[in-house]
Amino acid sequence: MHRKEIDIPTYLTEHGIKASYQRIRILKYFQEHLTHPTVNDIYEELLPDIPTLSKTTVYNTLNLFVEKNILDVILIEENEARYDWAMQTHGHFKCVKCGQVFDLEVNLEPSSIPGLRGYEIKEQHIYIKGVCLKCQNPESVH
């Protein structure tokens, strides 16, 4: 089942989360945008539609989703957390010019890292920063 085909209320219930209106709308954000939003991105997008929405609710909900393994936190920013639909471990690239964050297919085999022998691994984060193709040759791209 692909992310876009998932029924959000069902998906929440399956993960032990009561499907409130705010929670549905917040998770739907990730279904509709394949980006890596900050708390504020989500808050500002939903506010016109849900004028009573509190930023605290966005924080609480995202923390809950992370705890229930629906979302991952991305700390590629220096100061602000971003969130991403939880899926097979992958990496993230941030272009330091345009600021966009991309997903990367990275297969980092923990068993290949000498110092980790016997360690219990809970999380794996791979962040790469640089300049994306478009920002290197602004004119060469249509």
Partner DNA sequence: AATAAACTTGTAATCATTACAGTTCTATTA
Partner DNA sequence: TAATAGAACTGTAATGATTACAAGTTTATT
Give the one residue of 2, 18, 49, 119 binding a copy of itself; rule: CB under 8 A: 119
| Token output for 106 | 């990275």
Q: How many residues bind DNA (CB under 7 A)?
A: 24
| Angle in degrees, CA 70, 6, 101, rounded to 5 | 55
Give the one residue of 133, 138, 139, 142 binding a copy of itself; rule: CB under 8 A: 133
Burial of 24 (0-12, 13-18, 19+ CB in 10 A): middle
With CB under 5 to 8 Å by kind, the binding choice for 53 among a copy of itself, DNA, none is: DNA
Burial of 105 (0-12, 13-18, 19+ CB in 10 A): exposed
If one asks whether residue 52 binds DNA (CB under 7 A), the answer comes out as yes
Give residues in contact with DNA (CB under 7 A): 17-18, 20-23, 38-40, 50, 52-57, 59-61, 63, 78-81
